[in-house]
């Protein structure tokens, strides 16, 4: 994907591709410009696992204009667009000819076969509520209001900020808010997931390389820290940094210079650093897994985000905003929430926090097909709704995402796996089988590394391990995995 990891000059204008396939919603950040290939083959920039999608189905063109091009697909590419006809509005479907390009607007719905794709403004986890400016986080809880007030004061200072909180609690949203309120707001905002890259790739991406530094280095390439000049860098999952990279990052923080791989002299950079983690870094320092000097450098001031279960007053407005956004992408009116649906949402413990809430709501909107969301559309795990007071459920399941087709027979969950619950018995069993298959696939893609597989699925590692045990999936031997 050309430029996929390049920072954009305005975080609020960053785009993402939402793919809706049979109830599964996946997101893919888009580059500021270039071409993104879409199709069923793994060679595509965005792989879509749907039999109605061709191996190389379409190209998305990004830049000054946004456009979609059909690559001779078997089942066609259709643009869904509303057209006013007097007092009524009609939904038109425009079929693309193979090899032809059609301009898009952000929010237009496009069908690749039976899969729906939509280009949307990228948001870190919280959508704007009705009457709220787009891009502004939803803050209703008193503790969150105090936190954001402190963040406003911190934003204007050059101090490094360490954001702490559970997975999916909204650390990236707060980081972007700090960037937008800082003197660097006109510069790029770069988020780097430290857990998603191997050590060798992380070093090359962070610091860049010179021509000939390694076999495939046909030309010099600036690192991401260089491309974020005059902007802000968020080191997400900073607790996952390998020891070798910790040493080099400490040197960057102290000298404000980077040394490219294969380089002979360092290059100065002007970048502000924010970092985020769900780990207890002080405890990691004590056990020798994280450098104490780097911890002190990153911990200029620490801001701790409370989990969603401690911010019950924000659940309803967040859910409504997410449902409105998903319905709009699907070309539907915004759904209403039955009172018992809101009660179920507020009773759930949300081990995956806002990220889990977003997935649950998007799936519910797709599955409902109507104008009201009911509790059975949520597919919440009843066991995770009310754990003992004060207990944080270490093995709570992550949200399960449905795929258009049933899972293979060999992917059926064993006797120890979670059982169907409530009125959604058959569907719940099918979703459990699908999740087991996704976990097995992730382990295969990551060569058995459990930490990387969990990151690939957007799942906390302890939840991932719990799901391995629940589904009877053998854990890779330590000789084959660093996870």
Instruction: For tokens 């169907």, name the residue.
Output: 420
Helix (H, G, I), strand (E, B) or coil at 366: helix
Query: Quick check: 273 and 235 in contact, CB under 8 A?
Result: yes
DSSP state of 8: B
Instruction: For tokens 């000939």, name the residue.
Output: 212
Across the strands, what pairs with 261? 209
Q: Is the dihedral of CA 122, 173, 310, 236 positive or negative?
A: positive
Distance of CA 170 to the CA centre of its chain: 11
Most distant CA atoms of the chain, gap in Å: 70
Compare 210 and 381 and report the one with higher pLDDT. Answer: 210
Q: What H or E segment, with its residue span, contains residue 80?
A: strand 77-85
Compare 233 and 91 and report the one with higher pLDDT. Answer: 233
What pLDDT sits at residue 129? 54
Tell me which residue of 206, 311, 302 sits closest to 251, measured CA to CA. Answer: 206
Query: Quick check: 266 and 258 in contact, CB under 8 A?
Result: yes
φ/ψ (deg, to 5) at 81:
-140, 135
Separation CA 208–CA 201 (nearest Å):
10
Helix (H, G, I), strand (E, B) or coil at 36: strand
Query: Quick check: 124 and 170 in contact, CB under 8 A?
Result: yes
Map out the domains of the chain with their CATH numbers: 11-121 (2.60.200.20), 142-304 (3.40.50.300), 312-470 (1.10.8.60)
pLDDT digits (tens, 9 = 90+) for 17-37: 888 765 566 778 888 888 999
pLDDT digits (tens, 9 = 90+) for 127-167: 455 455 555 788 999 999 999 999 999 999 889 999 999 98
Tell me which residue of 183, 68, 190 sits closest to 119, measured CA to CA. Answer: 68
Confidence (pTM): 0.58
What pLDDT sits at residue 425? 43
391 — pLDDT class (breaks 50, 70, 90)? very low
What pLDDT sits at residue 411? 33
């Amino acid at each position: 994907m050309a430029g996929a990891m390049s920072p954009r000059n305005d975080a609020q204008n960053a785009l993402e591709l939402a793919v809706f396939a049979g109830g599964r919603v996946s997101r893919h950040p888009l580059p500021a410009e270039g071409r993104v290939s879409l199709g069923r083959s793994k060679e595509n920039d965005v792989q879509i696992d749907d039999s109605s999608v061709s191996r190389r189905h379409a190209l998305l063109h990004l830049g000054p204009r946004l456009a979609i091009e059909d690559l001779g697909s078997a089942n066609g590419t259709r643009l869904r667009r509303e057209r006013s006809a007097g007092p009524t509005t009609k939904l038109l479907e425009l079929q693309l000819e193979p090899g032809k390009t059609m301009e898009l607007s952000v929010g237009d719905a496009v069908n690749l076969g039976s899969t729906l794709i939509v280009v949307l403004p990228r948001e870190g986890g919280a959508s704007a509520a009705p009457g709220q400016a787009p891009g502004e986080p939803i803050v209703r809880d008193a503790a969150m209001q105090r936190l954001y007030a402190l963040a406003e004061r911190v934003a204007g200072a050059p101090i490094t900020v360490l954001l702490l909180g559970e997975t999916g609690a909204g650390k990236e949203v707060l980081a972007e808010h700090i960037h937008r309120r800082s003197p660097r707001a006109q510069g790029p905002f770069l988020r780097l997931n430290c857990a998603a890259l191997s050590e060798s790739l992380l070093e090359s991406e962070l610091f860049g390389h010179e021509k000939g530094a390694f076999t495939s280095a046909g030309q010099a390439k600036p690192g991401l820290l260089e491309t974020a000049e005059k902007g802000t860098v968020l080191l997400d999952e900073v607790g996952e940094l390998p020891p070798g990279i910790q040493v080099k990052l400490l040197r960057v923080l102290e000298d404000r210079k980077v040394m490219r791989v294969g380089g002979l002299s360092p290059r100065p950079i002007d970048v502000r650093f924010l970092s985020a983690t769900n780990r207890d870094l002080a405890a990691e320092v004590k056990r020798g897994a994280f450098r104490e000097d780097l911890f002190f450098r990153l911990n200029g001031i620490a801001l701790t985000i409370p989990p969603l279960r401690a911010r019950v007053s924000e659940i309803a407005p967040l859910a409504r905003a997410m449902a409105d956004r998903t319905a709009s992408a699907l070309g539907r009116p915004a759904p209403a929430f039955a009172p018992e649906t809101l009660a179920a949402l507020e009773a759930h413990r949300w081990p995956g926090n806002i990220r889990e809430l977003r997935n649950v709501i998007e799936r519910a909107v797709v599955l409902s097909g109507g104008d009201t969301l009911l509790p059975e559309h949520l597919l919440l795990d009843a066991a995770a709704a009310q754990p003992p007071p004060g207990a944080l459920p270490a093995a709570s399941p992550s949200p399960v995402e449905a795929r258009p087709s049933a899972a293979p027979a060999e992917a059926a969950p064993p006797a120890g796996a979670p059982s169907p619950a409530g009125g959604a018995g058959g569907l719940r069993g099918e979703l459990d089988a699908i999740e087991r298959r996704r976990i097995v696939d992730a382990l295969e893609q990551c060569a058995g590394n459990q930490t990387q597989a969990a990151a690939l699925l957007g799942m906390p590692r302890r939840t991932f391990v719990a799901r391995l045990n629940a589904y009877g999936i053998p854990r890779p031997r330590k000789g084959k995995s660093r996870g």
